[in-house]
């Protein structure tokens, strides 16, 4: 699955395609890699062999690679902090404990600076969001062909290893944050107070249809901006790595290292921005007079 085995266009499309599992209907015509046509005699749950098949699987299809890596990295984050917590002692902390304490203090100071309400869930949520997104973004620093090559030899048609370049993942996280915003806005302000915030600001009360339209758009824009910002930046970084991989070998070495070093800043910054905006939105949901 090297770039030398396919055209540049095929190589780019291949690396940007997710491994998708879904249902193809009876009567669907499939074409295998050798050009043979197969007509399905019944509804079949299977892996998509082409981008067209993935599209035809519809809404209920699952991007197996994104889902798998997301869950794996979430478990890794959990066990990493669990190991650090179990290793905590009253003596001189180890390097692992020093690192974990530094991360926790960094997140705690960020939350204290952005969240003025009282909710013991916000700081752990911020830590989880930052750590999880950072790990998903960090997968972008693995050589572009390494894991897809292993997957190809295992018989998988596609294998995308950066979950945050999948809009399904970024929208899934942003929608979860949006539901929390709605929940705490209703809980803290009451249904009437939350509606009044949307309908009677910023213009006079008699202009409530305009206010409701403006505030409604602003409210819905929060999860959309969260998801698209993370997806767009990580997707662009992935595309640049793919384009570098298409260049001659000596140019790859010249360009890939500086871009990878710069990308370390990007993956950290995107995780921090998502976390910070989440905390700010939660703070706005907890402000009764907002």
Whether the predicted pLDDT of 135 surpasses 80: yes
Asked if 204 and 142 sit in the same domain, the reply is yes
Phi, psi of 21 (to 5 degrees): -115, 130
Asked if 247 and 276 sit in the same domain, the reply is yes
Return the higher-pLDDT residue of 199 and 165.
165
Check 2, 225, 256, 289 and give the catalytic one: 225
Number of domains in the chain: 2
| Mean per-residue pLDDT of the chain | 88
> Among the three residues 46, 63, 80, which one is the final residue of a domain in this structure?
63
Straight-line distance from the first to the last Cα atom of the chain, in angstroms, rounded to the nearest whole number: 55
> Among the three residues 48, 63, 78, which one is the final residue of a domain in this structure?
63
Asked if 237 and 281 sit in the same domain, the reply is yes
Q: Rounded to whole angstroms, how far apart are CA atoms 245 and 238?
A: 11
Average pLDDT for 248-261: 84
pLDDT value of residue 203: 77
Residues forming beta bridges with residue 87, ordered by sequence position: none
Contacts (Cβ under 8 Å, ≥6 apart) of 123: 107, 108, 111
Check 185, 229, 256, 289 and give the catalytic one: 229
Q: What's the predicted TM-score (pTM) here?
A: 0.89
Q: Kindly report, residue by residue over 2-41, the tens digit of the pLDDT.
A: 445 678 888 888 888 999 999 999 888 887 666 678 888 8
Average pLDDT for 140-151: 88
Asked if 20 and 157 sit in the same domain, the reply is no
Q: Is 30 a catalytic residue?
A: no
Q: Rounded to whole angstroms, how far apart are CA atoms 281 and 283?
A: 5
Q: Rounded to whole angstroms, how far apart are CA atoms 222 and 215?
A: 11
* 46 three-state secondary structure: strand
Locate tokens 């249809």: which residue? Answer: 209
Asked if 123 and 58 sit in the same domain, the reply is no
Is the torsion defined by CA of 97, 103, 108, 113 positive or negative? positive
Q: Kindly report, residue by residue over 32-61, the tens digit of the pLDDT.
A: 666 678 888 899 999 998 888 999 998 889
Pair 152, 159: CB distance under 8 Å:
yes
pLDDT value of residue 90: 62
pLDDT value of residue 173: 96
Asked if 55 and 99 sit in the same domain, the reply is no
Q: Rounded to whole angstroms, how far apart are CA atoms 276 and 225?
A: 13
Average pLDDT for 174-195: 92
Q: Is 8 a catalytic residue?
A: no
Asked if 36 and 141 sit in the same domain, the reply is no
Which domain range does residue 249 map to? 64-286
Asked if 195 and 74 sit in the same domain, the reply is yes
Phi, psi of 23 (to 5 degrees): -105, 130
Asked if 242 and 255 sit in the same domain, the reply is yes
Asked if 40 and 111 sit in the same domain, the reply is no
C-alpha angle 150-151-157 in degrees, rounded to nearest 5: 140
Q: Which of 85-99, 207-221, 241-255 has the lowest mean pLDDT?
A: 85-99
Check 66, 233, 256, 289 and give the catalytic one: 233
Q: Is 153 a catalytic residue?
A: no
Q: Rounded to whole angstroms, how far apart are CA atoms 278 and 290?
A: 17
Asked if 196 and 126 sit in the same domain, the reply is yes
Q: Rounded to whole angstroms, how far apart are CA atoms 78 and 137?
A: 17
Pair 24, 40: CB distance under 8 Å:
yes
Asked if 56 and 162 sit in the same domain, the reply is no
Average pLDDT for 225-251: 90
Residues forming beta bridges with residue 72, ordered by sequence position: none
Return the higher-pLDDT residue of 259 and 2.
259
> Among the three residues 19, 48, 63, which one is the final residue of a domain in this structure?
63
């Amino acid at each position: 699955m090297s770039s030398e085995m396919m055209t540049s266009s095929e190589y780019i499309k291949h690396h940007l395609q997710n491994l998708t599992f879904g249902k193809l209907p009876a009567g669907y015509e499939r074409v295998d890699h050798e050009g043979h046509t197969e007509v399905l005699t019944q509804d079949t749950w299977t892996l998509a062999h082409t981008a067209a098949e993935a599209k035809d699987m519809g809404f209920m299809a699952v991007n197996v690679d994104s889902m798998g890596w997301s869950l794996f990295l979430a478990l890794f984050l959990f066990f990493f902090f669990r190991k650090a917590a179990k290793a905590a002692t009253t003596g001189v902390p180890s390097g692992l404990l020093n690192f974990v304490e530094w991360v926790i203090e960094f997140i705690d100071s960020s939350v204290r600076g952005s969240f003025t309400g009282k909710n013991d869930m916000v700081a752990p949520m911020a830590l989880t969001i930052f750590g999880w997104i950072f790990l998903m973004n960090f997968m972008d620093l693995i050589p572009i062909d390494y894991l897809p090559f292993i997957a190809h030899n295992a018989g998988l048609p596609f294998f995308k290893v950066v979950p945050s370049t999948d809009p399904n993942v970024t929208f899934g996280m942003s929608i979860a944050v949006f539901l929390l915003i709605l929940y705490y806005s209703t809980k803290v302000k009451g249904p009437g107070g939350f509606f009044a915030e949307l309908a009677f600001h910023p213009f006079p009360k008699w202009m409530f249809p305009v206010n409701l339209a403006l505030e409604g758009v602003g409210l819905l824009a929060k999860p959309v901006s969260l998801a698209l910002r993370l997806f767009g930046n990580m997707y662009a970084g992935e595309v640049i790595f793919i384009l570098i991989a298409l260049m001659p070998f000596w140019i790859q070495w010249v360009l890939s290292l500086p871009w990878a070093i710069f990308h370390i800043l990007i993956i950290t910054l995107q995780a921090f921005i998502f976390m910070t905006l989440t905390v700010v939105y939660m703070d706005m949901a907890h402000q009764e007079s907002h």
